[in-house]
Each structure stands twice: as structure tokens, then as C-alpha cells.
Amino acid sequence: EEEEEFYRLLEQEEDSLLVEGRRVLKGQRVRKLTVAHKWYKEVDKKGVLRWRCDTERDKGAVQKIIEDLKRSERPDTSSFDATARADARREKKKIQERNRRANKKSKLQGGFVNEGIDSAPRETLGKIRITSGAIQKAAQSEARSKRGLPDHLQRHTNKRQRRKLNPVTELNSVFEEVVGAMWKDASSANFRAPVDTRNNPRYKDIILNPIDLNIIRANTKEQKYPDRAAFLADVELLVSNCKEYNGTRDMALVSEVMALRTVCHDQLDKAKQRLAEAEAMIRLSLIFEKILDQIWRLPAAQGFQHPVRNPDYSKVVKAPMDLCVMKQRAKDFAYSGSDSFTMDLRLIRDNCHLYCRTRFPHLLQL
């Protein structure tokens, strides 16, 4: 294996010396030397490239080899190469950071900078100045384009605001914050995980519906609480379980769970405005669902419950609407008020008149 490694190294450096069984390259000092081996490549008569070795034992010749080796010495530049590579990396990072800042600045000004043309003069890159008047005109133009369209046809560009329109998500987000405050309280240490039944073997016989803060927090993340009453029911269940099992055993635990309930109600009072808005949207959605159920049961509503399947319907009606879609929108809390709800009802009426007036010329004007 050493021999194979030696030949592999020799292929990388022809002018190599084997000094007392040790490979020496140019630039390395040799203090004491008695035998030198000079390795070189040679082509034999058959044209095959082979390695040849000349062994020199004469002290004068060996000394001459040492002197030649010293004359050919050069300082080790590996450290210089590493420094140069580090400088190159730093310079590259500086260029990337400069391009990033230029792009960010140009975007804020409404312009454009291409990283691939960094060497181009700055004055050749276009810039657009955006004033408050231009922003106001753009908003007015968008409002005019949306005017007269139903709510479900308007484009919602702000996804973050659209997520907040779901009141159940907002409600459970508040409950998650409340549970987080309860979790951080020092009195919650014994209520974060289920009760250890090995140390309390009769717990399951006494408590039929166990609960802990970890379960409540998981329910908030899965959005299982449709209103404040459902969330408070689980908190009260935690309190009642503790009282029932520890009422005569450990009054300190009862005091801790009562302190947790106080923290819960205090946090709910702080988020009173957010809870009121979310609960109002949920109640409004329930009202819309009730109205749609009453309309659904009408005999005249059978033709408007599901989408129209006529082949030419889509050519005439560009914005179809039916009661099934409205019920789904009500469940998804898409109606923020009565205006958008009644607009979809009018859209069903107008689509019917638009499609039928060409087929029934004597249809009365709506």
C-alpha cells in the first residue's frame, strides 16, 4: 500500500526525491543525507512509459543534490493562497451585499436593478417615482373596477387580511394566547400534562373525563372551539376535576387551579374586543345559514339550488350563482355583512332573468 501511494504521489510531481525512504519535494530542507534516489519517467523501446530510479551513494554527488535542492527552495505559499482565497470570498460577499441593497433601494423607488448588469452605469437603469397622489389614483381606479361586482367576484389581494376574516380562526387564536399565559404561570406546573395514574391508581375511577392544559392547547391549534363557552367549559372541567379529586387530599393544588382560572378570565377580558368581533361574525353567519335553509325548502327554489347544466348557460351568464354556493360561502364566513349576502341573492335573480328573457319574450320585467 505504501508503494502504491508513493507511485501515485510521483505522478503528481516528477521532480521528486526519495531520501532515506522518505519522499522529499522541492522546497523542503534535508539536513542529513547519505543515500539519494532520483526518480524520473522513461519510455522504453516498446514505447511504454515506465518509472526509473537512479540510486546515488557517493557523498559528493549526494551533497551536490542537497545544494541543488537548497537553491531551488521557495517559500511555502499555501498560507498566502489561503489568504488570497479568503480575500476573494470577502470581496464576493461585498459585491452580493451591494447588489442586494441596490435592488432593495430600487424597488422602494419603483425602479429595477438587474444583478447581471452590475457593471452598467447607474444612470442607464430606469427609475419610477411613486407619489402619494399616484397611489391614491391607483386605489380609486381599482375601486371603480370593482364597483358593481358581487363580493365573490372581487379580487382579494391581501391574503393576511383574508385569513383574519375567518372568525373561528381568530377566536381560537385568542384562546391559544390565553392558554399560553396560563402555561407560563407558576401555578400551572401540575396541570400541563395528564395525571400520572401509576402514582394515583384511583384517578380514573373518580375522574371520568380527564383534561389538562396540553389538551386544551391542542384543541385551540386544531380550531375545535366554535365560541367562548366551549373554551370556558374545558377550563371549568379542569377546575372541577382538580376539586373533585384533591378536595380532601391537597388543598394547595385546588388553590393553584383557582389561580389559573383567574389568569384565564383576566386574559379574556384583555381580548374582549377581538372576541366580540369574531363572535359577531359567527352569529351573523348562523343567521345567513338559517335564512338559506328557509329559502331552500321553498318549492320555487328547486331550480336555483344547484348550478345550471345547460350547455349554452355559460355563454350567456358570466357570473353564475346558486343557493348551494351561497350556503358554502355562509359556512366559510365569506359574508362580512348583509350587503354582500343580498347581492348574491340578487345575482341569482338577475342571472335567471338574463338567461330566460331571450327564451321567453313575454317574461315580465323584474
227-239 pLDDT tens trace: 999 999 999 999 9
Map out the domains of the chain as residue ranges. Answer: 2-71, 79-124, 165-270, 283-356
Distance CA 97, CA 118 (A): 12
Burial class (CB in 10 A: 0-12, 13-18, 19+), 239: middle
Q: What pLDDT score was predicted for residue 327? A: 92
For residue 304, the tally of other CB atoms under 10 A from its CB is 21
* pLDDT on residue 181: 93
CB 320 within 8 A of CB 313: yes
Distance CA 110, CA 130 (A): 7
Each residue's pLDDT tens digit, 207-261: 999 999 999 999 999 999 989 999 999 999 999 999 998 877 788 889 999 999 9
Q: Which fold has domain 165-270?
A: Histone Acetyltransferase; Chain A (1.20.920)
DSSP letters, 207-232, are -SS---HHHHHHHHHTT---SHHHHH
Residues of the chain with pLDDT under 70: 1-40, 70-82, 107-135, 144-165, 363-366
CATH fold match for the domains 165-270 and 283-356: yes
What pLDDT does 98 receive? Answer: 86
Pick the closest to residue 224 from 286, 159, 285, 176 (CA basis): 176
pLDDT at 154: 53
Predicted local distance difference test score (pLDDT) of residue 291: 95
Name the percent of the chain in helix, strand, coil, to the closest 5.
Answer: 60, 5, 35
Residue 171 Cα distances to 168, 184, 267, angstroms: 5, 20, 13
- pLDDT computed for residue 121 by the predictor: 43
Q: What is the pLDDT of residue 110?
A: 54
Through-space distance between the first and last CA atoms of the chain, rounded to whole angstroms: 99
Res 14: pLDDT: 47
pLDDT at 43: 73
- What does the angle CA 63 – CA 64 – CA 68 come to, to the nearest 5 degrees? 120
Range list of H helices, 224-308: 228-246, 251-270, 272-296
Is the domain 283-356 a CATH 1.10.1040.10 member? no
Residue 115 neighbours by CB under 8 Å, 6+ apart: 99, 103
Element (H, E) at 7: helix 2-12
Q: For residue 163, give the amino acid letter.
A: R
